[in-house]
Amino acid sequence: MRGVAVALVATQLLAPSHAAARAAAPVFVALDYDIAPAAVECPAVEEFRATVERQLGYDPFRATADRHVAIEIARREGGFDGRIRWSDAGGRWVGERRLSSRRSECGGIAASVAFAVAVQIQLLAEIAPAAPPPSSPPARGPALVAAPVVGATPSAVEQPAPKPPQPDATAGVSAPVPPRPKPWLRLSMGIGPSVAVGLMPQATGLGRLFVSGAAGRFSLELAADAALPVTQHDAGGAGFSLDRIAAAAAACGHVGVVAACVTGTLGRFEAHGFGVDQQASPAGYFSQVGARLRATHDVAGRYFIAGRVDGLVMVSSSTVTLSQTVVWTTPRVGGVLGIDFGAHFF
């Protein structure tokens, strides 16, 4: 029923516009129509132009026109936001209007924006100055003022002002300003616990500290991690404990909340033998390459939580030897499953 009511109001408001357009010279404006990447389902520019043309009875858009109208439609949580910005031939701002819709489809906000643009063009045509005939007697009764472009200097004309536009019932002129878009450059820092499999003699916990910088859809991350010590021994009581520390880097590409990364790791193992005749604490170095899949959710704009899965391939391996016997060698393939917590600084 709301859609029917809006259609009836739109019909009543624009019904006299065709006669007015024939009586006065048509007004032409240059159009800039921009749909945000997250709102690709919105009508294309050709469909938007056709909607305005149907309401006015002529195509008001010319690339060489002095006046300019810029349309922006973006998705927001729970609906869409629309912005209409008017400027003159010199590029100076002369008016702006914002609309919003809580509908999940973009057609509602697009129709409201098209209707508002059509009404404003009609008003511009009606308030255009026209010299009255010399013999015309002075008008009787109070003069009415036509509604001007928002932010422009009002002009008085001796004719009734058209009714104000009636957008979609779900849209409001006094809609809140849409949230600021994410900055193109962003610096982040965080920590993350993980479970490592195939990196040590047994599955173990892994903790890491990282910092990352993002530019558009790409980011670079630097991290340092350390594993909980793992102990392994044989039936005779001899064995070893193993520590692992490493530095890593990841280059990522982002699509929405998902990122795919290529990773590289350089690290150090340190083994401590026990139950042997001669104890030693030898150290070995290793390197790994791998791939990562990560999903991120922003919390309150500044903070974030992310889940990640890493697959790792050992490039250079290390071995642990007790009494001249190799008791463990780094596996060829390993994996890490973790979660990160952090904050964006800008």
Report pLDDT digits (tens) over 317-341: 777 776 667 778 888 899 999 999 9
| pLDDT tier at 198, thresholds 50, 70, 90 | confident
Distances from the Cα of 308 to the Cαs of 21, 195, 207, in angstroms? 61, 11, 13
Using CA of residue 116, residue 117, residue 118, residue 123, what is the dihedral sign? positive
What is the architecture of the domain spanning 185-344?
Beta Barrel (2.40)
Model pLDDT for residues 31-79, shown as the tens digit of each residue: 999 988 887 789 899 999 999 999 988 999 998 988 899 999 988 888 8
**pLDDT at 173 (0 to 100):** 46
Q: Where are the domains of the chain?
A: 1-181, 185-344
Q: With beta carbons less than 8 A apart as the criterion, state whether 101 and 6 touch.
A: no
The sign of the torsion formed by the CA atoms of 179, 180, 183, 188 equals negative
- pLDDT given at position 115: 93
Using one digit for the tens of pLDDT, what is the confidence trace for 127-176? Answer: 766 545 445 445 454 444 444 444 444 443 444 555 555 555 444 444 45
What are the strands, taking DSSP E only, across the chain?
29-35, 67-76, 79-87, 93-101, 185-197, 204-215, 218-233, 239-255, 258-274, 283-299, 303-316, 319-322, 325-329, 333-344
Is pTM beyond 0.75? Reply is no
